[in-house]
Amino acid sequence: MLNFVAQKKPFMGFFKGSKIYSIVKGKCPVCHTGNMYRTPNAYKLSSTLKMHERCTHCNTKFKIEPSFFYGAMYVSYPVGIIFAGIAFILSFYFFELGRLASFIVIAVFLLILLPVILRVSRNIWINLFFKFDAEKV
Ligand SMILES: [Zn+2]
């Protein structure tokens, strides 16, 4: 117990080893150590989707076949719906805005979160095909 406190693990460290950790942090789905993206900041728009070809830690090849990440489009739709739903609930029920104002809020919300949605979709997609390997950490 004391050892755990002394380590001062960041919050997400608790999830290390689960797919949630890799999806939220953008880490390699196999080792959860190497970064998948060249820049950690998704809002640096020129390099939002620029990824390392292989994991810098365990050498896993991320793009396992040509056009592999086109499949992330199927994931981005439900991810976008979830974010739009959150924006709708906040604007329509919490702030009691009208339908048109809520629609505008949803559109702006999705536009602002586009880089995050793109990355989360890719992260979910790649985590469907890879499993965490504790030996490669
Ligand atoms: Zn790795």
Tell me the mean pLDDT in the region 27-46: 94
Q: How many whole angstroms from its chain centre is CA 20?
A: 9
Ligand 1 centre and the CA of 97: distance in Å? 45
Does position 122 have pLDDT exceeding 60, yes or no?
yes
Radius of gyration of the CA atoms of the chain, in A: 18
Ligand 1 centre and the CA of 35: distance in Å? 8
Ligand 1 centre and the CA of 23: distance in Å? 13
Which has the closest alpha carbon to 62: 30, 86, 93?
30
Ligand 1 centre and the CA of 56: distance in Å? 7
Distances, alpha carbon 22 to alpha carbons 2, 44, 66, 102, in Å = 27, 20, 22, 32
Question: What tens digit of pLDDT does each residue of 73-117 get?
Answer: 999 999 999 999 999 999 999 999 999 999 999 999 999 999 999
Which has the closest alpha carbon to 117: 51, 43, 47?
43
Rounded to two decimals, what is the model's pTM?
0.86
Q: Using 50, 70 and 90 to split pLDDT, how confident is the model at 10?
A: low
Q: How much of the chain exceeds pLDDT 70, in percent?
A: 93
d(CA 71, CA 76): 9
Of the CA atoms within 13 Å of residue 120, those in its CB half-sphere come to 14
